């Protein structure tokens, strides 16, 4: 029997992802990738050979290996949902990264410049938001868990993907959050809201952060919410040298994922080699 992608299957897939408690952004990404594949297929039957051709097409189109694997992950998930596991393909093999690109690594000095710029521009909400993400290591999708109750208790309970973890909030940050919330007459619930009282979207947070780059003198390629999480991870690890504790704080189920956050730049590695004193 031929396997063809039908509109009703996408709706059922969305519902299944909702029941799996996937994040809204994740659901939209999965659906977007499946729809791109369906458009490329032009109604043809789905086979493993066709999926392999899609994989080759993505690679030939210039997508990075990690991006290709992300697209394949979404499609493979959809194929498994339909019971078409025989059509799944393997991911591209990516050599483990040894060094981080310096053009992507946000330094603490650059972070402080972003904060200073946001303050100079009178962007109080953005300043506090950047501080909150960087001081706690939360994901941008977890900003909604920073509530008045959490600020008053000094801890936020985050529930994602069926897992619950507790994030401790620094005392100074809590005081800032409470002061900010009271100033805006927020007595309970989320602290970071739009003027209309809605949650801040991922896109809005990205856009507001990018708007600081030129004045702060920081490369746009370094400025995005997840890079604040990476900065937190590096600084936390330097302070305690405990990768297990860091994995717990970041909500990682695999230490391999946490280690990706700790990849150093080639320049840092070179300094370490010099300190060994092995060349006379």
* pLDDT score at 97: 61
What pLDDT is recorded for position 170? 95
| pLDDT tens string 215-236 | 999 999 999 999 999 999 999 9
φ/ψ bin of 92: left (φ > 0), alpha (ψ from -120 to 50), beta (otherwise): beta
pLDDT band at 136 (very low <50, low <70, confident <90, very high): very high
158 vs 160: CA distance, rounded Å: 6
Query: How is residue 226 written in tokens?
Result: 């997840």
| pLDDT for position 148 | 97
Q: What is the pLDDT of residue 267?
A: 64
pLDDT, tens digit, 9 for 90 and up, residues 19-60: 887 878 889 999 999 999 999 999 999 999 999 999 999 999
Average pLDDT score, the chain: 90
Residue 88: pLDDT band with limits 50, 70, 90: very high
Contact 14, 34 (CB under 8 A): no
DSSP state of 277: -
Q: Are 191 and 175 in contact (CB under 8 A)?
A: no
pLDDT band at 101 (very low <50, low <70, confident <90, very high): low
Output the CA–CA distances (angstroms, integers) from residue 172 to 95, 98, 146, 253, in the order listed.
Answer: 41, 36, 14, 29
Per residue in 115-134, pLDDT (tens digit) is 999 999 999 999 999 999 99
């Amino acid at each position: 029997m031929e396997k063809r992608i039908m509109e009703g299957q996408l709706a059922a897939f969305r519902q299944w992802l909702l029941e799996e408690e996937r994040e809204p952004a994740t659901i939209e990404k999965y659906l977007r990738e499946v729809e791109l594949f369906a458009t490329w297929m032009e109604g043809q039957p789905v086979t493993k050979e066709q999926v392999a051709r899609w994989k080759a097409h993505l690679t030939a189109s210039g997508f990075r290996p990690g991006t290709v694997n992300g697209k394949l992950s979404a499609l493979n998930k959809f194929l498994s949902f339909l019971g078409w596991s025989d059509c799944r393909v393997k991911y591209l093999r990516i050599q483990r990264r040894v060094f981080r690109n310096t053009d992507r690594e946000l330094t603490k000095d650059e972070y402080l410049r972003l904060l200073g710029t946001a303050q100079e521009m009178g962007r109080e909400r953005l300043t506090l938001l950047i501080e909150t993400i960087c001081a706690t290591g939360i994901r941008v999708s977890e900003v909604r868990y920073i509530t008045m109750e959490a600020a008053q208790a000094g801890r936020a309970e985050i529930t994602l993907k069926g897992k619950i973890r507790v994030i401790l909030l620094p005392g100074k940050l809590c005081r800032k959050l409470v002061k900010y919330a009271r100033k805006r007459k927020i007595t309970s619930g989320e602290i970071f809201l739009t003027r209309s009282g809605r949650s801040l979207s991922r896109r809005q947070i990205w856009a507001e952060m990018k708007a600081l780059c030129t004045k702060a003198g920081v490369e746009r390629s370094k400025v995005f919410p997840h890079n604040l999480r990476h900065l937190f991870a590096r600084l936390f690890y330097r302070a305690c040298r405990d990768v297990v504790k860091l994995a717990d704080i970041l909500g990682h189920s695999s230490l391999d994922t946490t280690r990706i956050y700790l990849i150093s730049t080639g320049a840092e590695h070179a300094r370490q080699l010099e300190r060994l004193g092995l060349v006379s």
